[in-house]
Structure 1
Amino acid sequence: DLLSLSVIEQASNAFLGNAHPLDLNYGASAGDRSFANALAGVLTREYGALTHPGSLMVTNGNSQALDFVCTVFTRPGDTVFVEEPSYFLAFRILADHGLNIVGIPIDEDGLIIEAVEAALKIHEPAFIYTIPSFHNPSAYTMSASRRAQLVALSLSHDFLIVADEVYHMLSYYEAPPMAFGTMIDSGTIISLGSFSKILAPALRLGWMQASEKLLEKAFENGVVNSGGSLNHYTSHIARRAIELGILEQHLMQLRQTFRGRVKAMDEALNSFLGNTLQWHRPKGGYFFWLALPEDMDADDLRSRVSDYEIGFQPGSRFSSRGELRHFLRLSFSYYNEDDIFEGIERLSRLIARAR
């Protein structure tokens, strides 16, 4: 019910009703300026700081954007820092570019800066990949002070910060600290955003926000030179969704719905597994990150889920070192509150059987 065909239909009809044949042509390297203006308005409202349209470049979503960043700003053999844990599918993208991945531990305030400093004594990273707000998988949010410290380190040690801010707008109780997208004047930040989590993943539409110097380097890429805007047509649809107020209404619905699902999952966990597991109640995003007893292995549990018709991701997938085996990630984004309650009850039976 949150993947709304009517939203896309309204926006598509509004665009096509006033479209020009040239809208089907190649787009400018940065993307359509009208779209950039509309998106800048959204980011100004959501980030609480003025966003300049000229700081934005259209992408095919954050997965493609991360791949694009690797293509433009790294070479095989370079080192990149990631959070430990981090989004497991990002590891494959980094590995596809022949990059050396170094995991940096996090806590409830995000990246542990002392650990970054220690790693910088050994490595010279091309960039650090971070999911600063409502982190995947932990749901932690990097504090404002650590964001500032990380920017200072990027300047003193000459590395980029690639901030995957896909969950920043999905806050259910209080807004996270200022997005890295508001700090691009440092010249070391590339902020990635996407409509996948706030409108529909099938659109494959996102944006990259960076300084003029970094964007100029991105525009020199061969794919962009050849094909122009990375998602020209779909950006027109999203622009109309913004201009008609549809996106803002949809965001409000997402926040209200997900807030209820967070509450439902937290209550179910307390009812069925409160004496067995530990977790952090998320304030945004999609995920719960559960700590099992240390003698339990989530990979082993996952091999038995077919008997209970449930699913989760084991913690080892989110570790750059294959560790974190007594953790697992649950998503509340696809399930209503009754299904969440039933799923947690089944998970509790699986865990009880495995102990």
Structure 2
Amino acid sequence: MLDVTQTRIPQGVIDLGVGHPSLGLLPLEELRQAALHRLSQGNPAFLQYGAEPGDGYFRTELAGFLSRHYGFSLEPDTLFVTAGVSQALDLICTAFTRPGQVIFVEEPTYFLSLGIFRDHHLEVVALPTDADGLDITALEAALRQHQPALVYTIPTFQNPTGATLSQQRRKRLVELSQEYGFLIVADEVYQLLYYHQSPPLSLGSFAAAGTVLSLGSFSKILAPGLRLGWIQAAPRLLHTLTRNGMVASGGGLNPFASAIVRSALELGLQEQHLHKLRNTYRGRLETLLEALRQNGLRPRYTPEGGYFVWLELDPAADSQVLLEQAIQAGVRYQPGVRFSSQGNFAHALRLCFAYYDSAELKKGIQRLAAVLRSS
């Protein structure tokens, strides 16, 4: 999902509000090798319209890759190829919701997903989160008042807080989905980006329950410009997606990019790049956390993966008001209120450590701390 600044930023500003990798981390050489490998095979089939769920060879290779990294076995028929998670969310809303229906989201949540839900005219009900992710007790209470079509969650290294849903809560969430008849849409783009201990199993491990749609993307583990992702779910749910008019008309989504990434998987290039990203991001996260500590700032949670750190200021502070002052001082962030469907978290802000190297991260936090001290 695109997660960039929405205003023009003056030159020299360290933009900790971005949500994507730096240019130096984009695997140009690896994808050149992958493209040469695929184009040299002499088989142009991947240039044709494809099967609605996506290229079968690619889904087979992807299933093997995910099985190794997720820690449970996936079959190709549980995978549906998408042009990224944003499109996956839009397809799911088209297939499984109707205007006016209620959906539950986390509070806070990824702010650009709210635009997709708004476009589908869905009624968003926000549920609180804590260090262990979505508050399941609050979910149970809300289920006594509403009948949601979907529950949208970012269970692992959540955007924006960095919190991770505990295994116990994951299990209970799935039980509730079966009991109350709602679908779980798990945005799991950060599942493989852990920098210390591996997180709980992906919610895709519960796909056989028939109520889970787990979303993944190569945007975070290879390159955003590929516009390539997947939905993992029970085959009967995926069959509903194949009947989408756009999919039926155009055939499988993104067959060319799928073919190139298939070669990246076959050649081990994705594996190598994932290892590089983990090492790089681990160092950047540690740098950011240490810089915050040295400047007297403490994040709400200490993430062990993903892209983001969530900082909560004095309750009287307004990070949106402070933003212009911060930009003038040479640093930018995402104000917390953008991540709330209810207009909350004015006192919070999100920082991204994925884009900048250690020196820039330290400088950015020094500038931010100076602004906060003077406010």
Please report the TM-score for the alignment, with normalisation by the length of structure 2: 0.93
Q: Distance in 2 between matches of 1:290 and 1:19?
A: 53
The reply on whether 1:319 has 2:320 as its aligned counterpart is no
Tell me whether 306-315 or 60-69 shows the greater mean CA deviation. 306-315
Structure 2 SS opposite 1:273: coil
Q: Work out the percentage of aligned pairs sharing the same amino acid.
A: 49
Q: Which residue identity is paired with 1:108? A: A
Cα offset, 1:19, TM superposition: 4.0
Cα offset, 1:165, TM superposition: 0.4
The match for 2:62 among 21, 35, 39 is 39
Q: Distance in 1 between matches of 2:327 and 2:349?
A: 16
Q: Distance in 2 between matches of 1:286 and 1:197?
A: 9
Equivalent residues of 1:193, 1:207 under 8 A apart: yes
1:56 counterpart residue number? 79
Structure 2 SS opposite 1:174: coil
The reply on whether 1:235 has 2:258 as its aligned counterpart is yes
Q: Which residue identity is paired with 1:293? A: D
Within 5 Å, which residues of 2 pair with 1:1-355? Answer: 1-274=24-297, 277-354=298-375
Q: Distance in 1 between matches of 2:42 and 2:158?
A: 39
Cα offset, 1:324, TM superposition: 0.8
Structure 1 SS opposite 2:295: helix
Count of aligned positions: 352
Q: Distance in 2 between matches of 1:4 and 1:232?
A: 20
Equivalent residues of 2:34, 2:263 under 8 A apart: yes
Q: Distance in 2 between matches of 1:47 and 1:249?
A: 17
Q: Distance in 2 between matches of 1:163 and 1:83?
A: 11
Equivalent residues of 1:81, 1:103 under 8 A apart: yes
Cα offset, 1:22, TM superposition: 2.5
Cα offset, 1:21, TM superposition: 2.5
Equivalent residues of 1:160, 1:190 under 8 A apart: yes
Cα offset, 1:278, TM superposition: 3.9
Give the gaps of 5 or more residues in structure 2.
1-23
Equivalent residues of 1:205, 1:235 under 8 A apart: yes
Q: CA-to-partner distance for each residue in 1:161-195, whole Å, 9 max, x for gaps?
A: 00000000000001111101111000000000000
Q: CA-to-partner distance for each residue in 1:237-284, whole Å, 9 max, x for gaps?
A: 11000000000000000000000011100110001123xx44322100
Q: CA-to-partner distance for each residue in 1:64-103, whole Å, 9 max, x for gaps?
A: 1001100111010011000000000000000000000000
Q: Distance in 2 between matches of 1:147 and 1:299?
A: 33
Larger relative contact order (CA 8 Å, sep ≥ 6):
2
Q: Distance in 1 between matches of 2:157 and 2:40?
A: 38
Q: CA-to-partner distance for each residue in 1:131-187, whole Å, 9 max, x for gaps?
A: 000000000000000000000000000000000000000000011111011110000
Q: Distance in 2 between matches of 1:243 and 1:352?
A: 52
Q: Which residue identity is paired with 2:78? A: S
The CA RMSD measured in Å over matched residues stands at: 0.8
Structure 1 SS opposite 2:125: strand
Q: Distance in 2 between matches of 1:265 and 1:237?
A: 34
Equivalent residues of 1:286, 1:331 under 8 A apart: yes
Q: Distance in 1 between matches of 2:53 and 2:205?
A: 19
Cα offset, 1:304, TM superposition: 1.6
Structure 2 SS opposite 1:304: helix
Equivalent residues of 2:309, 2:351 under 8 A apart: yes
Q: Distance in 2 between matches of 1:296 and 1:30?
A: 48
Q: Distance in 2 between matches of 1:246 and 1:238?
A: 9
Equivalent residues of 2:299, 2:309 under 8 A apart: no
Q: Distance in 2 between matches of 1:23 and 1:187?
A: 31
Structure 2 SS opposite 1:279: coil
Q: Distance in 1 between matches of 2:263 and 2:296?
A: 45
**Closer/same/farther in 2, CA of residues 200 and 19 from structure 1, 3 Å limit:** farther
Structure 1 SS opposite 2:216: strand
Cα offset, 1:309, TM superposition: 1.8
Superposition misfits of 4+ residues, deviation over 6 angstroms:
none
Cα offset, 1:303, TM superposition: 2.3
Q: Which residue identity is paired with 1:22? A: A
Give the gaps of 5 or more residues in structure 1.
none
Equivalent residues of 1:44, 1:50 under 8 A apart: yes
Structure 2 SS opposite 1:175: coil
